[in-house]
Amino acid sequence: MPVLSIRTNVSKDKIPDDFLTTSTDVLFKMLGKPRQYYAVHILPDQMMSFSGTTEPCALVSLGCIGKLGLEENKGHTKTLMEHIQSTLGVEPTRMYISFNNEREQDVGYNMKTFAE
């Protein structure tokens, strides 16, 4: 159930048409979960500042059942920041990524939780 959410002040017209697809591909390579469970959400045109300026910036969160942790997140940070920088033009010094290691019983899908 990997869910990638990105809030950014980058305008919608600067988001590549294939951004959702390429982001799913990046997540699939990174996490290896079945492709059917990935969700990617981007919220452009946000009123945001980072370090006191309104240059392109982003607040990113990645939720997943497993595949996250101290060592894994080091690689995930590099991979996601490279992807966001190359596709949205947001510098790594202008974004934060929050990782949320979800518990199976706390995520619902298809009328049940992943613990069932």
Q: Which residues are catalytic?
A: 2
Listed residue (5, 61, 64) closest to 31, CA to CA = 64
Torsion, CA 2, CA 79, CA 69, CA 1, rounded to 10: 0
CA distance 116 to 104: 8
